[in-house]
Amino acid sequence: MANHVNIAERLRHMASRHPDKPAVIICSGPGEKGGLATISHTFRELDRDSDAAARGFLKAGIGRGTKTLVMLRPGLPFFSCFFALFKVGAVPVFIDPGMGGTRLLECVRVLAPEAMVGVPLAHAVRVISRKYFPRFRVAITHGRRWFWGGYSWEKFRRYSTESFPIAETEADEMAAILFTTGSTGPAKGVEYNHGALDRQVAILAEAFGITDTDKDAATFPGFSLFSIALGMTAVIPDMNPVMPGMVHPPNVIEPILREGCTFSFGSPALWGRVSEYAVGNGIQLPTLGRVVMAGAPVPRVVHERLRGNVLRDGADTYTPYGATECMPVACIGGREVLEITSDAAGARSGVPVGYPAAGVRVEIIRISDKPIREWDDGLILPQGEIGEITVQADHASRHYHNLPEADALAKIADGDRFWHRMGDVGYRDEAGRIWFCGRKAHRVRTADRDLFTIPTEAVFNRHEAVARSALVGVGTGDGHERPVIIIEAKPGVDTAKQGDAIRRELLDLAKDNPLTSSITDILFHEGFPTDIRHNAKINRESLARWASTQLRKKNAETRP
C-alpha cells in the first residue's frame, strides 16, 4: 500500500479540532485607538479559503507536480496559496525576493516554473524577463492585473460547502522547493518531499515542546507555515520580512504583549535589536516562554538580555542548528550556552549548537572540497578535531533542483541512505555536543594551517571597541591566502581618530594567541554586508574583495 502523506492534512485536522481558533493574526499598522490594527482568520476560514484556491488552481491548470513560484507578502493569501498548492499536489516554490533581481532571475532560470502566484511587480518582472520563464503557462495575480492577462487571485477561486479532496501524495513525492540564501555561492533550490516535510514538522514540535495552545510571534514567513501546521496561531508583526535586522522593535513587542504570544522563531539580528530596545525601555514579555533564533551564530549578549531581563522566569532561548537542506540538525538552550561559554577559552572554541535532534545522526569527517561518492567510516575524525559536519536524517533533502553538480558535492551515498555535507566545519566535544566553527568555504588556507572564522574572530571580538570582526583571505599568488581581520567598530567609536591605537591593541591580542599570531593585517569597515534572509550572516566573499582592494591601495601608497 502506498504511503500517503500531505502536510495540508494537518491544516484540515486543526480546522476540524479548533475551527474558531485564529490561525493567522495579521498586524497591519496603527489602529483607531492607537497600537496596531489586526486582521484575524480562523483555522476554518484558512482551510475553506485554501479549498477555494485549490479549486481555482485546478481550473487554471495547476495540478499534481506543477512547479509554482509564490511571490506574495505575508498575509492570508500567502498561507492560503501554499496550503492550496499542497492540497492539489502541486509544488510551491519560495525564493527570497531580497536577493536582488539578477540572482533571483538566475534561480528562476534553473527552476523553470510553469506557474506563478504573485503581486503585480513580480509579474511585471516576469513579462520583461520572458527568457527566464521558458515553460511558463499560468499567471495568477494578487492585486491589479495590468497587461499580462491570466487570472486574478480575488476572482478565480470558487467557494463550496464541500471540503476539497486533498491529493493523496506519497512520502517520496516532491512537495516544495525552497531556495538557499546563496551566502557562500549561487542560491540553490532544495527539494522537499512530503515525507520529509511532515517529519520536519514533528521534529520541530518535539524539539521545542510546541502544542496547539501556543501562539507564535511569527517574524519569519517560512516558519509560519510550520506554526499553522502545528496548530499554533501565527501572529504576523507589521515588518518587512526581507529586512529583519531593521525591524521597528515596538512592532514586534506590541503584538506579543497584546496577543499573549508564547513562542517566536526569528533572526538573531531581529532579536538583538528587539532585546536591546526592551532592556533600554524596561519592557518585559511575561508570556513568551521560548525564543528560537536561527540563521547565524547568536551573540552571547542577546541570550543574556533575553534570559536575564526580558523573558519570564523559566523561559529560555534556543539556537537550532541546521540549513535549508536539513532543519533542525541540533539544538541547544541559552542557559546551557551561557554555562559552557562563560570563560575566555570557551568563547574561542567556536559556537555550541548542541546535541543532535531526534532521528539525526551527525558525524565530523575530514575536510575536502571534492565530491565523496561513497560513505566510509574511515572518514570520521576523532572527538575534538575540527572537520566537516555531515548529517543523516529522514528530513534531510536528497536533491537540489536541476543541479546534479551540487548534489555530487553535497551528498554522500551510504547504501539506500545518504549523508548531507552541511558545508560547515566544527567538532564534537566530550559531552557529545556539536560546536560550529564557521563555513567550510570561509576557512583561510595559509601556508602553515587552515584558520576557521568563528574561533579566530572571537580573539578580536574581546576588544571593547569591536562590535564584530570578520576573517577573510586574500590570495598571495602561490595558492595560499593571507589572513586579514576586518573590524566593524561599536557605535560611537571614531576609527578615523582611534583606529591606529585600536589596531595596535588588536595586534597585541593576536600575538598572545598561537591561533592568531600570524595575523598582521587589520582593516576597519563601516558596516558589514549580511545575508538577505536573516540579516545576520556576514558576507565574507564581498568583504574579501574589498580587503584585497584596500591592501593593494595600501601597498601602492607605501611603495617608493
User: Which DSSP string do the residues of 46-70 spell out, in sequence order?
Assistant: HHHHHHHHHHHHHHHT--TT-EEEE
Quote the DSSP letter at residue 307. Answer: I
pTM of the model: 0.91
pLDDT at res. 245: 86
Decide if 91 contacts 176 (C-beta within 8 A). yes
CA distance linking residue 85 with residue 91, whole number of Å: 7
pLDDT digits (tens, 9 = 90+) for 132-160: 999 999 999 999 999 999 999 999 998 99
Decide if 240 contacts 250 (C-beta within 8 A). no
Decide if 87 contacts 81 (C-beta within 8 A). no
More confident residue, 415 or 28: 415
| Residue 241: pLDDT band with limits 50, 70, 90 | confident
Q: Residue 302: pLDDT above 80? A: yes
What 3-state class would DSSP assign to 408?
A: helix
pLDDT digits (tens, 9 = 90+) for 53-89: 999 999 999 999 999 999 999 889 999 999 999 999 9
Average pLDDT over residues 438-463: 93
Indicate the range of 106-120, 266-280, 302-316, 476-490 predicted with least confidence. Answer: 476-490
What 3-state class would DSSP assign to 344?
A: helix
Mark out the alpha helices in 233-333 (DSSP H runs): 250-259, 268-280, 300-305
Pairing of strands 22-30, 36-42: antiparallel
| Residue 33: pLDDT band with limits 50, 70, 90 | low
| Residue 555: pLDDT band with limits 50, 70, 90 | confident
Candidates 473, 469, 452; CA nearest to 524 is 469
CA distance linking residue 35 with residue 19, whole number of Å: 28
Question: Quick one: cell of 66?
Answer: 506543477
Q: Residue 65: what residue type? A: G
| Residue 532: pLDDT band with limits 50, 70, 90 | low
Residue identified by cell 534572509 is: 533
| Residue 1: pLDDT band with limits 50, 70, 90 | very low
Q: Measured on CA atoms in the order 352, 354, 359, 364, is the torsion positive or negative?
A: positive
pLDDT at res. 343: 47
Q: Residue 353: pLDDT above 60? A: yes
pLDDT digits (tens, 9 = 90+) for 359-383: 999 999 999 999 999 999 999 999 9
Decide if 7 contacts 86 (C-beta within 8 A). yes
Indicate the range of 179-193, 423-437, 507-521 predicted with least confidence. Answer: 179-193
Average pLDDT over residues 193-221: 94
| Residue 243: pLDDT band with limits 50, 70, 90 | confident
Question: What residues contact 474, with CB distance under 8 A and at least 6 apart?
Answer: 481, 482, 484, 521, 544, 547, 548, 551
Assign residue 108 a region: left if phi > 0, alpha if psi is -120 to 50, beta otherwise? Answer: alpha
Q: At what angle do helices 8-17 and 76-88 cross, to 10 degrees?
A: 120
- Average of per-residue pLDDT values in the chain: 92
Decide if 179 contacts 100 (C-beta within 8 A). no
pLDDT at res. 345: 45
Candidates 93, 82, 117; CA nearest to 7 is 82
pLDDT at res. 409: 97
Q: Residue 437: pLDDT above 80? A: yes
Burial (CB count within 10 angstroms: exposed 0-12, middle 13-18, buried 19+), residue 268: buried
